[in-house]
Amino acid sequence: MSPPEATAAATAGCKVVLISPYELGRQPFALAEPAAWLARGGHETVCVDLSRERLTEQALAGAALVAIHLGMHTATRIALEALPRIRELAPDAHLCAYGLYAPMNAPYLRDNGVDTVLGGEAEGQLTELADQAAAGRTPALAPAPGLPKVAFITPDRTGLPALSGYANLGTPDGSTRMVGFAEGSRGCKHLCRHCPVVPVYQGRFRAVPVEVVMADIRQQVEAGAEHISFGDPDFLNGPTHALRLVRALHDAFPDVTYDATIKVEHLIRHADLLPELASTGCLFITSAVESVDDRVLDYLDKGHTGADFPRAVELVRAAGIALAPTFVAFTPWTTLEGYLDLLRHLVDLELVESVPPVQLSIRLLIPQGSYLLNLEGFRETLGNFDPASLGYPWANPDPRVDALQRDIQAWVEHAEAEGFERRAIFQRVWALAHEAAGLEAPALPAGLGAPIPAMSEPWYCCAEPTKQQLQSF
């Protein structure tokens, strides 16, 4: 779908308000790209990032269309709390929700006043809704077959809060770097059962042209960005495209560093590419390891084994890049021994300083539309869908595992609020896990790994919204 071309003869545009409830502390591409489309279509566009600013009467007054980006679970929870305030400030606006978590929560969103629900690649459909509103018609879209293709244009970030107000990158030497955010691709070729990308993209991915990505990076570098965080679900879904992109980035801005998210299986399959990623400025790679238990990995259909994790660590380190693994530490299949094994891996691989402590408390989320629901007999083990949490409740067969998860979550929240160092937080998690299993916790070795570059806002998307987030509107 191509972006509209504004002409003098075109119908006068309307006011559109794009809202991002939460985007992991990053300036949201998912507002900037549709903002560019809408502006080209002649519409007045206002962007509101609830992680950095409040809803105001001025922002929403006169809006014909309000579109809320739901890219993750936390954002969806915040949006649902904000909907009454949005409706109060824009009583006549057509309400739209778009993004990965919109289709899977469509019934509940509609029950809460959302008129139109869109999935991925929504820029053209948002513009169509705005065109209809501008023409005085009630916005309505017929279901689009498949997933519409977007002709990407340079995102418009002018209406967003300054880049300096977002999460920064801390380095082991104590310095910080201002961070920009770019997308080199959308979607994913893989079908990991717990992943929110899968129900929308169903194994497809779309590359953003290198020239568009570079134009977006250039405007962020001009705004002060010294590091680019690539938000692709998997940066090596298209290895050739990824290499073209990092070569262009390094040629244009040799002092700008970057990070990316890459699957464990891709780190191993494309190990020959890792040295070039390092030489072009890749500081660290985030990888969704999820578990070291082969049984759990099989249920999740992750495409790698527990033995692949140490191999990936070895390859990434050999290339001179840090690895930041993420986990779904608690699942219906997690055992106390399995959790202890995960902690032992982090100790043995000297990764304790590489893992945000919240990752040690993450509990599997099973939303509407999850591919986990396709597992034979699995749905029957779940409770009824809970609209408040936007997920199906589950209990581990061993109640000690669920109790341990609650204890670790409470400890991590307290310790991070008090500013404890990662080693100290891990030491208590280590003790709690051994206590739950009725074991004496061995003393931890002196070497648990050195700190790695890390964002000031840790990477995760399925935590409970904080009170501060819920009061942001």
- Assigned domain for 59 exists: yes
**pLDDT for 149:** 84
Residue 367: strand, helix, or coil: coil
- Assigned domain for 139 exists: no
**pLDDT for 422:** 94
Tell me, yes or no, whether 70 and 183 share the same domain: no
Tell me, yes or no, whether 115 and 185 share the same domain: no
In contact, 73 and 367? CB cutoff 8 Å:
yes
Tell me, yes or no, whether 72 and 185 share the same domain: no
- Alpha helices, DSSP H only, in 229-322? 239-252, 264-269, 274-279, 294-300, 308-318
- C-alpha–C-alpha distance, residues 229 and 168, integer Å: 10
- C-alpha–C-alpha distance, residues 121 and 149, integer Å: 7
- C-alpha–C-alpha distance, residues 106 and 115, integer Å: 10
In the predicted model, what is the mean pLDDT of the chain?
Answer: 92
**pLDDT for 28:** 94
- Assigned domain for 162 exists: no
Q: How far is CA 47 from CA 11, 12, 78, 132, in A?
A: 22, 20, 17, 20
Tell me, yes or no, whether 264 and 187 share the same domain: yes
- Assigned domain for 470 exists: no
**pLDDT for 444:** 96
- Counting the structural domains of the chain, the total is 2
The pLDDT tens digits for 425-470 are 999 999 999 999 999 999 999 889 999 999 988 655 555 555 555 5
For strands 205-207 and 185-187, give the pairing: antiparallel
CA 435 to chain centre: 33
- C-alpha–C-alpha distance, residues 97 and 119, integer Å: 8
The pLDDT tens digits for 49-67 are 999 999 999 999 999 999 9
pLDDT band at 196 (very low <50, low <70, confident <90, very high): confident
**Higher per-residue pLDDT: 104 or 293:** 293
Tell me, yes or no, whether 116 and 210 share the same domain: no
CA quadruple 395, 263, 227, 200: dihedral sign: negative
**pLDDT for 6:** 45
State the burial class of residue 348 (Cβ atoms within 10 Å of its Cβ: 0-12, 13-18, 19+).
Answer: exposed
In contact, 332 and 366? CB cutoff 8 Å:
no
Q: How far is CA 151 from CA 100, 168, 208, 320, in A?
A: 19, 30, 9, 36
Tell me, yes or no, whether 236 and 349 share the same domain: yes
**pLDDT for 466:** 56
Q: What is the CATH number of the domain that holds 122?
A: 3.40.50.280
Residues β-bridged to residue 227: 179, 257
Q: What is the CATH number of the domain that holds 196?
A: 3.80.30.20
What domain range includes position 187?
A: 168-456
- Assigned domain for 109 exists: yes
Tell me, yes or no, whether 325 and 412 share the same domain: yes
- Alpha helices, DSSP H only, in 135-209? 197-201
Which of these three, 81, 112, 134, is where a domain ends?
134
- Assigned domain for 466 exists: no
Mean pLDDT, residues 30-42 taken together: 96
**pLDDT for 185:** 94
**pLDDT for 10:** 47
In this model, does residue 15 exceed pLDDT 80? yes
**pLDDT for 1:** 62
In this model, does residue 90 exceed pLDDT 50? yes
- CA nearest 76: which of 109, 47, 46? 109
Tell me, yes or no, whether 176 and 117 share the same domain: no
pLDDT band at 200 (very low <50, low <70, confident <90, very high): confident
**Range with lowest mean pLDDT among 56-65, 185-194, 288-297, 462-471:** 462-471
219: Cβ contacts below 8 Å, ≥ 6 apart: 154, 157
In contact, 223 and 182? CB cutoff 8 Å:
no
The pLDDT tens digits for 130-180 are 999 999 998 888 666 678 888 999 999 999 999 999 999 999 999 999 999
Tokens 């648990």 identify what position? 448
- Assigned domain for 151 exists: no
- C-alpha–C-alpha distance, residues 336 and 401, integer Å: 6
Tell me, yes or no, whether 102 and 184 share the same domain: no
Tell me, yes or no, whether 262 and 388 share the same domain: yes
The pLDDT tens digits for 357-400 are 999 999 999 998 899 999 999 999 999 999 888 999 999 999 99
Please report the beta strands in 77-128, taking only residues with DSSP state E, as ranges in sequence order: 94-98, 116-117
Tell me, yes or no, whether 120 and 197 share the same domain: no
Residue 363: strand, helix, or coil: strand
- Assigned domain for 276 exists: yes
**pLDDT for 211:** 97
Express as a percent the part of the chain with pLDDT over 90: 82
Tell me, yes or no, whether 239 and 98 share the same domain: no
The pLDDT tens digits for 306-341 are 999 999 999 999 999 999 999 999 999 999 999 999
Pair of tokens at residue 409: 């979550």
Pair of tokens at residue 454: 């890390």
